[in-house]
Amino acid sequence: MTKEERNELIARYAAGYDEVQAALADFPADQLTAHPLAGKWSAAEIVQHLADSEMNSAIRLRKLLCEDSAQVQGYDEAFYATRLRYNERDLAPALLSLQSSRATTMQIIQFMTDDDWQRAGTHSQSGAYTTTDWLRIYAAHAHDHADQIRRLRAALKQ
């Protein structure tokens, strides 16, 4: 990956929270837990997932940077959604968590060297896992879920 490509992904990662906020703008508050698309999460579930995922991603990057042969643990996202009652919880703390996790992680990213971008470990579910893999995944993650929220809003209007 070139430095330019990496910088584009970093900028995308940095914009993730704002993208989610924009997707939630004017979303009907009484419909945040609705499931207008069969088999898909509600907007509330997506936001709670993003908060949990972001906490996991923050730890993953730190492990990759600080531990030789870091072991990154996967988790069952669907089980988290059910067990942690995503559809029953207030969204405000989850949004703050997403915003704060991204902000503190961006502080770390800004100091990463070319050597740091070569660090690697092992993901329990997908095998070899580098800091660059991490960036590719999480640069897109919030944007992908923001698009999912937009699809939910469109489905509610139909």
pLDDT in tens, 110-130: 999 999 999 999 999 999 999
Give every CB contact of residue 70 below 8 A, 6+ residues apart in sequence: 63, 64, 119, 120, 121, 122
Q: Across residues 55-59, what is the average pLDDT?
A: 97
Residue 156 clears pLDDT 90, i.e. is over it = yes
pLDDT above 90 (res 158): no
Q: Which residues of 24-48 are buried (b: 16+ CB within 10 A; e: fewer)?
A: beebeeebbebebeeeebbbbbbbb
Q: Return the CATH fold of 3-157.
A: Four Helix Bundle (Hemerythrin (Met), subunit A) (1.20.120)
**Model-level pTM?**
0.95
| % the chain with pLDDT above 90 | 97
pLDDT at residue 1 is higher than 90: no
Asked if pLDDT for residue 56 goes beyond 90, the answer is yes
